[in-house]
Amino acid sequence: MNAKHDAPITMTGGAVVAEALERAGIRLAFGLVSVHNMPILEAVHRRGRIRFVPTRNEAGAAAMADAFARAGGGLAAVISSTGPGAANAVGSLMEALNAGSPILHVTGQVPAALIGRGGGSVHDTKDQARFLEAVSKAVFRPASVHAIAGTIAQAVQLALTPPCGPVSIEVPIDVQKANCARPATLDLPQPQPPTPLAPSGDVLDRLAARLAGCRRAMLWTGAGATHARGATKRLAALGFGMATSMHGRGTLPEDHPLTLGAFNVQSDIVAFYRTCDAMLVAGSRLRGHETSDFTVQLPQPLYQIDVDAAADGRTGYAVEMLVQGDAALALDGLADRLQGRYRPDPAFAGDLAAAKRKAVATFRGVIGHYAEFCDRLRAAAPRDTLWVRDITISNSSWGNKLYPVYDPRDNIYAVGAAIGLGLPMAIGAALGAQRAVICLSGDGGFSLNIAEALTAVEQRVKAVFVVMNDGGYGIIRNIQHARCDGYQFYTEVPGPDLGLFARAVGMPHWRLDRLAALGDVIGEALSAQGPALVEVDVAAIGPFPKSFPPVAAARPR
């Protein structure tokens, strides 16, 4: 017997992390190499089974992983360093938590014996786990190299359990460096997405009995129901009207005649709601942006489907019945029970379509020639192009409503309303979906994570960055115009010459100063072999109307 061949396989803790991530189905990871994650990334590189995308900062890395998951790429990992590296990821982890995106954040830590002692170790921080807890579903820290694989399996399971979200794992540097025999836990069955929570049949029976007596019922779907596309089509076929949150757009394609899309707070829509006799909300928090801070009078009675029992009473709206369970299972169950029983008002579909036409026409009048801008952009983009947006005045107006979305995986934007995430999200979405992306941002938001343009070029992502350049923060200008009697302050924050910047990073650049040329420019940019930058000269096209956003003119007191 050859003792050399019988010797047990030994691994570092970093190698255990790498193999555990592989076995959990991670095929892409984003991050930066550092002294406190080097053993992990060395193993990732040597093993060669996970594609690692080196980003320019941790905020970009986490935003990329978030959008990768939203676009259908599956679970992705963020690998950051300790202290400032982990802190840099916090804003993007908060966005992933708001959006319900399952991602795994693996970060380093100082040696286990020094955690929390304030001894001044490199990258030491007072309480790293505590600030990560605020933006993660949970934070784990394996106590030893033998605990790594089981900890990662537990974290993956939690990230994938609805309501999904980011989970953080701290791996102390001495645990990463430690050697051990290959843990048997690596060969245990790997975590799978949990079985969807089935709703109570009795509760569905009661809800169906109530809805069967309605003739003008509405279904409002949010991000928690985007996987229920088949069920929503069935209910629309029965005669239900549809509306969505901004995050739930595309659950029913927005060219379907029975959907309002995200037109849900306009006066014409609110008037239409008064003619409805019920609303069922599925997988939505009825966020403030969708309901004018919970003041829109939604149809009554109001019913709710949510996988989270805490959804009952979470907003200012009282619901008459909560069905706890997976939205797809619950909506399919309702469709089964309502087949042949639900008889819509013959005038309902026409009334819904008329209300939407009026709301759209009014909205187009408010935003002026940017309605035509939206039309031309949508016409130039193939139907399956991913629509990624940063927080900018164009997105907060027509990008979130007027630009049609046909599939929820194509609808990616900063749900938590943080500026600067559009550029890295576009990279993650393009890598996750392997389809072309159009990313809308303002010059302020684009500048915030501008270094990630280098990542886009390096990874050769198929993304067109449409930057609405008005030399500052346009939406804040308009708010100040309304609320501060026109007094302006701190909004003039010009960025670099984008043409020179694009040339410096190796990205083709177009400067658009004529609305009529938009379609041709977008077509050329989409034909580029990698990322492209289209800079829109807002001053030349025409400034955005000061009437948006619609805020009170009185100075706040």
Mean pLDDT of 287-292: 84
Per-residue confidence band for 213, with pLDDT thresholds at 50, 70 and 90: very high
Closest CA to 450 of 523, 359, 531: 531
pLDDT, one tens digit per residue, over 398-442 is 999 999 999 999 999 999 989 999 999 999 999 999 999 999 999
Domain borders along the chain are 9-187, 201-357, 368-541
Q: Which residue has the higher pLDDT, 118 or 143?
A: 143
Per-residue confidence band for 493, with pLDDT thresholds at 50, 70 and 90: confident
Q: Using alpha carbons, list the distances in angstroms from residue 190 to 21, 546, 555.
A: 10, 54, 57
For residue 191, what pLDDT is reported? 76
Mean pLDDT of 290-310: 92
Quick one: which H or E segment has residue 175?
A: helix 173-177
Mean pLDDT of 236-255: 97
Residue type, 164: C
For residue 288, what pLDDT is reported? 83
Whether 142 has a pLDDT exceeding 50, the answer reads yes
**DSSP category for residue 259:** B
**Beta bridge partner(s), residue 439:** 388, 465
CA distance linking residue 308 with residue 324, whole number of Å:
7
CA distance linking residue 170 with residue 147, whole number of Å:
12
**DSSP category for residue 226:** T
User: What CATH number should be reported for the domain whose range is 368-541?
Assistant: 3.40.50.970
Contact 290/246 with Cβ under 8 angstroms? yes
Length of the chain: 557
pLDDT, one tens digit per residue, over 48-107 is 999 999 999 999 999 999 999 999 999 999 999 999 999 999 999 999 999 999 999 999
CA distance linking residue 425 with residue 394, whole number of Å:
17
Residue type, 179: N
Per-residue confidence band for 552, with pLDDT thresholds at 50, 70 and 90: very low
For residue 227, what pLDDT is reported? 96
Hunting for tokens 């299972």 — which residue is that? Answer: 329
Residue 512, helix vs strand vs coil: strand
155: Cβ–Cβ under 8 A, 6 or more apart, which residues?
104, 138, 140, 167, 168, 169
Contact 256/229 with Cβ under 8 angstroms? no
Closest CA to 234 of 305, 330, 300, 357: 330
Per-residue confidence band for 6, with pLDDT thresholds at 50, 70 and 90: low
- CA triplet 123, 142, 183: central angle to 5 degrees? 125
Q: What tokens were used for 447?
A: 């500048």
Q: Are 201-357 and 368-541 the same fold in CATH?
A: yes
Per-residue confidence band for 553, with pLDDT thresholds at 50, 70 and 90: very low
Per-residue confidence band for 556, with pLDDT thresholds at 50, 70 and 90: very low
Contact 14/39 with Cβ under 8 angstroms? yes
User: What CATH number should be reported for the domain whose range is 9-187?
Assistant: 3.40.50.970
Give the count of alpha carbons within 13 A of 33, CB side only: 12
Per-residue confidence band for 7, with pLDDT thresholds at 50, 70 and 90: low
For residue 149, what pLDDT is reported? 95
Quick one: which H or E segment has residue 252?
A: none
**Beta bridge partner(s), residue 467:** 441, 535
Closest CA to 436 of 383, 394, 389, 505: 383
Per-residue confidence band for 479, with pLDDT thresholds at 50, 70 and 90: confident
DSSP percent split of the chain into helix, strand, coil, nearest 5: 45, 15, 40
Q: Using alpha carbons, list the distances in angstroms from residue 131 to 120, 175, 432.
A: 18, 22, 28
Share of the chain above pLDDT 70, in %: 97
Contact 287/245 with Cβ under 8 angstroms? yes
For residue 557, what pLDDT is reported? 29
Which homologous superfamily is 201-357 in? Answer: TPP-binding domain (3.40.50.1220)
Indicate the average pLDDT of the chain: 93
pLDDT, one tens digit per residue, over 13-63 is 999 999 999 999 999 999 999 999 999 999 999 999 999 999 999 999 999
Report the 10 Å Cβ neighbour count for 475: 22
Whether 1 has a pLDDT exceeding 70, the answer reads no
Whether 540 has a pLDDT exceeding 60, the answer reads yes
pLDDT, one tens digit per residue, over 369-391 is 999 999 999 999 999 999 999 99
Whether 153 has a pLDDT exceeding 60, the answer reads yes
Whether 555 has a pLDDT exceeding 60, the answer reads no
Contact 22/29 with Cβ under 8 angstroms? no
Mean pLDDT of 522-549: 91
